[in-house]
C-alpha cells in the first residue's frame, strides 16, 4: 500500500515525534516523514533537510504567494510552519506512505484535502501538568517559549475530539502500541 497519509498532532511535548520515529522504524508501514518548512531557529542537533527545511520569513512568505503549500500556519507568533505540496508528492512518488507531525490546524486541513486517504491521530498528554513538566525537562525552550507552548497546548486540547483517533501518552510503550494498531488497520 502506498500514498496513505498518517497525521500525528497534539501539543508540543506530548511525545509526537518519538511516536512518529517508532512508526517510521516499522518497515511494514512503508512510511516516510514529511519534512516541513519552518522559520524558527534550528535547535542544537537538528539537521537541515532532515528535521525541517529552515527558511527566512521572507522566503516562507514568497512560497505562500506562489501557492507552494498544502497547508501552512503561524503556529506561534512569527513562527511559520508549513507542508510543501512537492514534499508529499516526493514521498508518494517513491511508492511510500507519508507520516506528518503538524499542529492541530495543519492536521485537520490535510485531512480535509485527502479525506479517506488520511488518518488523524491526536497524541494527548495525561494532563496539562504532566505536559508542563515534560516541556520543562526538555530544556530546549526559553521561559518565554515554554509559556507560549503551554498557552497553545490548552487551546489544542480542545481540538482532540475532531480527530479520527486519540492516543493518551501516559506510558510511551503503550502509546506506541496503540498508534501502531491504528496504523495497522489503516494501512493493512
Ligand atoms: P517544533 O518547533 O517543536 O518543532 O514544532 C512546533 C509545532 O509545529 C509542533 O506542534 C509541530 O507539530 C508543528 N508543525 C511542524 N511542522 C508543521 C507543518 O508543516 N505545518 C503545521 N501546521 N504545523 C507544523
d(CA 51, CA 42): 9
**What is residue 179's predicted lDDT score, i.e. its pLDDT?**
98
The second-level CATH assignment, the architecture, of 5-186 is 3-Layer(aba) Sandwich (3.40)
Domain ranges of the chain: 5-186
Cell of 115: 479525506
For residues 8 and 76, the model is more confident at 8
3-state secondary structure 52-111: EEECCHHHHHHHHHCCCEEEEEEEECCEEEEEEHHHHHHHHHCCCEEEEECCHHHHHHHH
Ligand 1: does its nearest atom lie under 6 Å from the Cβ of 87? no
Residue among 5, 38, 48, 108 whose CB has most ligand 1 atoms within 8 A, to mutate:
38
Q: If pLDDT is split at 50, 70 and 90, which confidence band does 1 have?
A: low
- 94-115 pLDDT, tens per residue? 999 999 999 999 999 999 999 9
Give Cα 26 distance to the centre of its chain. 18
Q: Which atom of ligand 1 is nearest to the CA of 38?
A: 16
Ligand 1: does its nearest atom lie under 6 Å from the Cβ of 36? yes
Amino acid at each position: 500500500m502506498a500514498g496513505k497519509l498518517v497525521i500525528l498532532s497534539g501539543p508540543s511535548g506530548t511525545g509526537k515525534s518519538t511516536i512518529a520515529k517508532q512508526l517510521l522504524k516499522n518497515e511494514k508501514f512503508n512510511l516516510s516523514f514529511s519534512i516541513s518548512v519552518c522559520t524558527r531557529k534550528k535547535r542544537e542537533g537538528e539537521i537541515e533537510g532532515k528535521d525541517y527545511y529552515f527558511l527566512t520569513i521572507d522566503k516562507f512568505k514568497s512560497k505562500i504567494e506562489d501557492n507552494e503549500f498544502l497547508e501552512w500556519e503561524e503556529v506561534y507568533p512569527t513562527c511559520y510552519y508549513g507542508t510543501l505540496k512537492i514534499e508529499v508528492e516526493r514521498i508518494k512518488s517513491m511508492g511510500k506512505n507519508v507520516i506528518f507531525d503538524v499542529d492541530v490546524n495543519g492536521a485537520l486541513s490535510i485531512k480535509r484535502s485527502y479525506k479517506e486517504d488520511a488518518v488523524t491521530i491526536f497524541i494527548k498528554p495525561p494532563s496539562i501538568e504532566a505536559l508542563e513538566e515534560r516541556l520543562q525537562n526538555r530544556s530546549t525552550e526559553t521561559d518565554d517559549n515554554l509559556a507560549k507552548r503551554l498557552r497553545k497546548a490548552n487551546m489544542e486540547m480542545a481540538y482532540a475530539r475532531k480527530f479520527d483517533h486519540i492516543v493518551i501518552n501516559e506510558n510511551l510503550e503503550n502509546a506506541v502500541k496503540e498508534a501502531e494498531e491504528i496504523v495497522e488497520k489503516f494501512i493493512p
